[in-house]
Amino acid sequence: MNHISPSWIELNISALQRNFHFFRNRIRRETAIYPVIKANAYGHGMAEIARAVAPLADGFCVHSAEEAAKVPGTKPVLILGHFPEDMGFLARLILDKNPVFTITQFEQAEILARAAKAAGKPASVHIKVETGTHRLGISPDESLKLISELKTFQTIRVKGFSTHFANIEDTTNHQFAMEQLSRFNAFRTSLPDPENYRFHTACSAAALLFPETHMDIVRLGISLYGYYSSGETRLSAMQQGLQPEDRLRPVLSWKTRPIQIKPVASGDFIGYGLTFRAHRPMTIAILPVGYSDGYDRRLSNSGYVLIRGQRAPICGRICMNMMMVDVSHIDGINRDDTVILIGRDGNEEISAETLAAISGTIQYEILARINPSIPRISMD
């Protein structure tokens, strides 16, 4: 597909749209769906994903103001995390994108108020309410105080409130999440005019499992890209009646080609550190992908790739820009063969979950760390 870059990403746009519709059909029409495209759309490519899903999405979520500035199109953008104190940058962002900023302190509002004044246009904000995750957020009482303080700014518009669940993904016991939801709902009812605001709590797992979390906006993250938030989330969904035909479809495939195929004699070592020694004559393929591309070094001597529908184990340590795989058993292999790093080949499949299980991490990290410079190619 791509003979210039050492490796390339293929995006299955039909799978992306199918995953979106799977959630759209489970969520009431009054609730907006904002795909989360932070971290380069979980490694998939922010621009490519935003353009592909824009006709379906109500808006987008990003982590930072810097990311918000890069979102193509005119859909609403909700900034979930960081924004700088650069007045010029913020004023241009308010003019160009009219984003919604998430704030947790009065000082942030002061910054935005000055930027909004420079832009000649009000800045919209959501307040993050702390309900138990103890990450970004302030307590319900502090949130009420902040609402009152923000009334002093003519250029700040409080548009909504959010919270985030601490333990809705990695468990089948959702008691803590429901306690958080109860705290957020209590805060909501304590407001004198809740009908004037938008409320959102739901990540992918919450959107899948608990309709009561949907509220006004769903922040659709990892599941848009074809992955359940965790094995526990998948199990909980199955217990609620999720059918095999409803399963999510991975959007991303990662591919490359060998740059050399060579013999290795019995007793020879392969790679740095002499961590792999051939106990028989072997044929290996050298692939132009390494940890600088985001391919996890922890997969050394334990991961595998797919070539001609067969598994080719990784031999030796993964290097910065290369890795070596055993292809002794693959007849006829040549440098024109496509190598699957993530994706399906015949009856075999390597998913981000597969690599995460081998390397002791989560699929989020496997995907998000793929080098942004690798070409992303949208496939119909």
CA 161/CA 176 separation, integer angstroms:
20
Instruction: Please say if 272 is a catalytic residue.
Output: yes
Catalytic residue among 38, 97, 128, 255: 38
Nearest Cα to Cα of residue 72 among 60, 87, 85: 60
- The single-letter code of the amino acid at 56 is L
Catalytic residue among 42, 197, 225, 272: 272
- Count Cβ atoms within 10 A of the Cβ of residue 88 and give its class: 0-12 exposed, 13-18 middle, 19 or more buried: exposed
Angle in degrees, CA 19, 41, 123, rounded to 5: 110
What are 276's strand-pairing partners? 270
Instruction: Please say if 38 is a catalytic residue.
Output: yes
Angle separating helix axes 140-150 and 106-119, nearest 10 degrees = 30
CA 226/CA 252 separation, integer angstroms:
9
- Count Cβ atoms within 10 A of the Cβ of residue 75 and give its class: 0-12 exposed, 13-18 middle, 19 or more buried: middle
CA 350/CA 353 separation, integer angstroms:
8
Active site residues: 38, 272
